[in-house]
Amino acid sequence: MSDKRPSARKSRSRRLTDTIADYLTTAVRELAPGSKLPSENQLAKQFGVSRSAVREAISGVASLGLLEIRKGAGMFVRAPVIANLRLPGFDYGNLANTAKLLEIRTGLDAAAARIAAIRRTEEELKFLQEMNAAASRPDLTLAEAVEADLAFHLAIVRATQNDYFVSIQTFLLDHIRTGIHLTRTLESYSKEMTEEVRREHSEILRAIENRKPEVAARLAEQHVLNARSRMRSAIASHVMPEIG
């Protein structure tokens, strides 16, 4: 009889650990990213178990990337991380594919700019200004110009303070980079087009700086539509550079 008691206690402890893990998993799915969760002490008291059992449950859920443990602050719901989208057979040099990506960006960029104009902090505004200045430098190589352009748009998305926007942008990151590379390559053959891009970026920044959400959204949408128009114009004029 005595031989069975340790096993029974161990089985009960395992069930309680699993119960706590299930509780935490459900909580992180229902709460917004950044929400604070009960402390180890609170969970131990709530479920009537030792802190070691609670730590075991937390460790298992944290290993799934669902929790963020901040020393001295507590335990929080981690923002969802979405792996980069992979499209089998996707031809990055295909102009039709780039046009499709620009269609997606039309709505996303407009929404991000609108929210950024409302929520941006002074620190985020300063970063946006720095990214715009970097993207406007005339001495950049094509590769540098692409990364600077991408950084400017990422800064707008981060200024929304919406983790889901950031996740969506991460989801599409490589495809957006490739689309920018193609449009920037075509635009680089025209000084006028290059200046248009710089002016459009600055206008979007100014609207976000002045907290004009509808203006920022309209300018961001028009910027993407203009990129598509510039791409068509370059193709129509037989500017067909190699896309490497």
Q: pLDDT digits over 72-119, tens only?
A: 778 888 765 544 445 444 454 566 676 777 788 889 999 999 999 999
Residue 14's pLDDT is what? 60
Give CA–CA dist 239/244, Å, rounded. 15
Q: Are 58 and 19 in contact (CB under 8 A)?
A: no
Q: Which residues contact 134 (CB under 8 A, 6 or more apart)?
A: 148, 151, 152
Mean pLDDT of 153-168: 86
Q: What is the pLDDT of residues 55-78, one digit of tens each?
A: 888 887 876 677 878 777 788 887
pLDDT at 52 over 90: no
Q: Which residue has the higher pLDDT, 85 or 244?
A: 85
What's the fold here for domain 95-236? Four Helix Bundle (Hemerythrin (Met), subunit A) (1.20.120)
Residue 234's pLDDT is what? 67
| Per-range mean pLDDT, top range of 66-70, 132-136, 172-176, 215-219 | 215-219
Q: Are 116 and 156 in contact (CB under 8 A)?
A: yes
Confidence of residue 220 (pLDDT cuts 50, 70, 90): very high
What are the start and end residues of each CATH 1.10.10.10 domain in the chain?
4-77
pLDDT at 175 over 80: no
What are the start and end residues of each CATH 1.20.120.530 domain in the chain?
95-236
Percent of the chain whose pLDDT exceeds 70: 80
Structure tokens at 38: 């009960």
Q: What is the pLDDT of residues 113-148, one digit of tens each?
A: 999 999 999 988 988 998 898 888 888 888 888 888
pLDDT at 204 over 90: yes
Q: Which residue has the higher pLDDT, 7 or 59?
A: 59
Given this structure, which CATH class describes domain 4-77?
mainly alpha
